[in-house]
Amino acid sequence: MKSSAKTATDVAQVQSSRRKFLGGAAAGTAAAVGMGFPAIVSAQTPTSLRFQSTWPTVDIFHEFALDFAKKINDMTGGELKIEVLPAGAVVPAFALLDAVSKGTLDGGHGVLGYNYGKQNALALYSSGPAFGMDANMVLAWHKYGGGQEMLEELYKDIGGNVVSFLYGPMPTQPFGWFKKPVTKAEDLKGLKFRTNGLAIDLFTAMGAAVNALPGGEIVPALDRGLLDGAEFNNATSDRLLGFPDVSKVCMLQSFHQSSETFEIIFNKDKYAALPDKMKAIIANGVEAASADMSWKAVDRYSQDYIKLQKEDGVKFYKTPDAILQQQLVVWDEIVTKKGETNPMFKKIEQSQREFASRALSWDMDTNNNRRMAYNHYFGRNAKKA
């Protein structure tokens, strides 16, 4: 049997070791706190931003807005949370800019053409032929050709308290949905027609009676006879919004909106308060969302283009070249008049012209004729695989 003296010694050694361990643990905890280990420090409260889109929930455009928000939320690991509401949840679609500027909303997703009434030069970023550039080229001009700096100047001029990001190149939009095919420009005379942005001026000059309506109100207006024709954007949006329920004729190709992009805006004060890391994630997240949106559009729009024909009985017609040519002529007259009274309008248009001159020359000389390849593989005389 062991003596009691040895047992007491053992106890004393154990107590000494425990004191050393606890002391070391306390020191380690202090060091961990100093290093900011997440397991030790309480989690930081996430920053929440409330956004609204200018699109109804059913539209793929609202889905694009949700896609952008998810990318940002995922990349920040929950430190920033953007919640996106549909059009009308807080303010009407056309009131988004004012709501974000005032801080009623922290941000939003829409298009610049909806703000045309505040400064007509804004519509140059979304309406018209853009000298033949597609939307991706317009985004190239915006980032590398001075467009972004001029847009900031425009917003400053109208008191827009926002930070703007353009993204999401859109394909050429249809000429419109009609009761019967439009075969000549005279068919537009007196036609009650929906469009937006500077396209309002274009179609008005071509004889139409134009009414600018947000996306969710167009089909009901067509159904009630308040409109004779209308355009919105693409095969998927038009199908989801119900265009084939009120019209079976869609004219493809037009210069009225052949290069439109989306816009994401943040309240300037809310954005300025974000850490630099968050701002960098947003800037890069916008570009990631832009690429993803363009890829998703190719997939979804092409599917719905087929469904509109096979399932909904829609007939697509190419807009006659004579109408397209007249659009260009009328557009030149419109922008000349706008430039005479609005120096910023003239400055932006000239900047686009200079960029388009070299970008289009390079593009047309460099890229293949897709129609030739399509006819070879899928045309009437193509060999079956």
Residue 172 · residue 134 · CB < 8 Å:
yes
**Amino acid 361: pLDDT:** 97
135-144 helix and 147-157 helix, angle to the nearest 10 degrees: 80
- Residue-wise pLDDT tens for the chain (385 aa)? 444 444 444 444 444 444 443 344 444 444 434 444 444 444 568 899 999 999 999 999 999 999 999 999 999 998 999 999 999 999 999 999 999 999 999 999 999 989 989 999 998 999 999 999 999 999 999 999 999 999 999 999 999 999 999 999 999 999 999 999 999 999 999 999 999 888 999 999 999 999 988 888 999 999 999 999 999 999 999 999 999 999 999 999 999 999 999 999 999 999 999 999 999 999 999 999 999 999 999 999 999 999 999 999 999 999 999 999 999 999 999 999 999 999 999 999 999 999 999 999 999 999 999 999 999 999 988 887 7
282-289: list long-range contacts, CB under 8 Å, 24+ apart: 282/72, 282/165, 283/165, 285/68, 285/71, 285/72, 285/75, 286/68, 286/165, 286/167, 287/167, 288/71, 289/64, 289/67, 289/68, 289/71, 289/167, 289/168
Max CA distance (Å), the chain: 118
Q: Which residue has the tokens 């007939």?
A: 315
321-341 helix and 343-366 helix, angle to the nearest 10 degrees: 140
Decide the pairing of beta strands 209-211 and 192-194: parallel
Does residue 327 have a known ligand-binding role? no
Q: Dihedral, CA atoms, 209, 251, 301, 125, nearest 10 degrees?
A: -50
pLDDT digits (tens, 9 = 90+) for 290-302: 999 999 999 999 9
- Dihedral pair phi/psi, residue 108, rounded to 5°: -165, 170
Residue 219 · residue 243 · CB < 8 Å:
yes
pLDDT digits (tens, 9 = 90+) for 298-330: 999 999 999 999 999 999 999 999 999 999 999
CATH topology match: 47-170+260-298 vs 176-255+314-363: yes
d(CA 158, CA 332): 25
d(CA 52, CA 96): 8
Does residue 257 have a known ligand-binding role? yes
**Amino acid 45: pLDDT:** 84
Q: Taking Cα atoms as reference points, which of 345, 303, 317 lies closest to residue 249?
A: 317
**Amino acid 7: pLDDT:** 44
Residue 282 · residue 118 · CB < 8 Å:
no
Q: Which CATH superfamily is domain 176-255+314-363 in?
A: Periplasmic binding protein-like II (3.40.190.10)
CA 50 from centre of chain: 17
Yes or no: domain 47-170+260-298 corresponds to CATH 3.30.1600.10: no
Domain boundaries along the sequence of the chain: 47-170+260-298, 176-255+314-363
343-366 helix and 135-144 helix, angle to the nearest 10 degrees: 120
Question: Residue 377, class by beta-carbon neighbours within 10 Å (0-12 exposed, 13-18 middle, 19+ buried)?
Answer: exposed
Does residue 231 have a known ligand-binding role? yes
| pTM for this prediction | 0.86
**Amino acid 384: pLDDT:** 79
Q: Which residues of 336-345 are buried (b: 16+ CB within 10 A; e: fewer)?
A: eebbeeeebb
